[in-house]
Amino acid sequence: MIILGIDIGGSGIKGALVDIERGMLTTPYQRIPTPQPSTPDAVADVVARIVGQFQSVGPVGCTFPAIIKQGVAYSAANVDKSWIATDGDRLLEQKTGRRFQLINDADAAGIAEIEFGAGKGKAGVVMMLTIGTGIGSALFIDGRLVPNTELGHMEVRGKEAEHRASDRIREKKKLGWKQWAARVDEVLKRFDALFSPTLFIIGGGVSKKHEKFLPLLTVRTPVVPAQLLNEAGIIGAALATSGMARSDGVSLPSMTIQESEMRD
């Protein structure tokens, strides 16, 4: 089954078709910068542009950097505050004419990593952290998601964790990898003491440079890079929506030979 997945971030919005049986994109993802200010209507217009670039049917899975309950945003740390109390599912459906399922962005990335990536088959507590504009978190217990943890907002020495150790802070303060790794280490040790995970998975844009900072970490729990890298959110959004697609009776073809050759 092929489902369109969209990943809304603080700096960019990207989407692609996903083969949910194999956990992989069947098309290159399309990316458009997140509008500023990132109001609901402005973001929804960009999402509609991305939807229009793909020939697909059925529901769309979409991530969002906030607490999401039944499609409604209950926070807005890295997007415009007017998102709070907005029914994102309804807004996006009105803009596109397609059914939507909104999910916390880190939760979506975590679902993808648990199903097809670094967390596959891992028992116990597994924590996925997406480090980018902020720090998102996804917490799993024996493969079952505890949604909307948003641990990047936990206080660490007087500041929210993401205000101390996000990739945005690394760039803003021009921190070297060793300096920044010490900040990430501090955050991970706080989470380690509170949740005793068996594994940390680091995702987000900075995961592509994991060799520059993961070897510098000293937290006792193993830390590994996300295997799906920056595509995890798109894949997880599609996976989270697969139940809705099946309930709609949507039956979509697998990749064509032409599409496979284009991806290769």
Give one DSSP letter per residue of 138-177, joined into a string. Answer: EEEETTEEE----GGGSEETTEEHHHHHSHHHHHHTT--H
Both structure tokens of 47: 């999402």
CATH topology of domain 121-226: Nucleotidyltransferase; domain 5 (3.30.420)
* The pairing of beta strand 12-19 with beta strand 2-8: antiparallel
Q: How confident is the model at residue 257 (pLDDT cuts 50, 70, 90)?
A: very low
pLDDT at 55: 87
pLDDT, average across residues 212-217 = 98
Residue-wise pLDDT for 55-110, tens only, equals 888 999 999 999 999 999 999 988 999 999 999 999 999 999 999 999 999 999 99
pLDDT at 62: 98
If phi > 0 it is left, if psi is from -120 to 50 it is alpha, else beta; for residue 116 that is alpha
121-226: same fold as 2-107+230-263?
yes
Q: How confident is the model at residue 3 (pLDDT cuts 50, 70, 90)?
A: very high
41: pLDDT strictly greater than 70: yes
Q: How confident is the model at residue 249 (pLDDT cuts 50, 70, 90)?
A: very low
Residue-wise pLDDT for 128-178, tens only, equals 999 998 999 999 999 999 999 999 999 999 999 999 999 999 999 999 999
Q: How confident is the model at residue 260 (pLDDT cuts 50, 70, 90)?
A: very low
Quote the CA–CA distance of 12 and 79 in Å, as a whole number. 11
If phi > 0 it is left, if psi is from -120 to 50 it is alpha, else beta; for residue 229 that is left
The predicted model scores a pTM of 0.90
250: pLDDT strictly greater than 80: no
Average pLDDT score over the chain: 92
Top CATH class, 2-107+230-263:
alpha beta
pLDDT at 5: 98
256: pLDDT strictly greater than 70: no
pLDDT at 56: 87
For the chain, the structural domain boundaries read 2-107+230-263, 121-226
pLDDT at 19: 97
CA dihedral 77, 79, 84, 89 (to 10 degrees): -120
Q: Report CA-CA distances (Å) from 248 to 16, 72, 141, 243.
A: 21, 22, 30, 9
CA angle 111, 213, 208 (to 5 degrees): 50
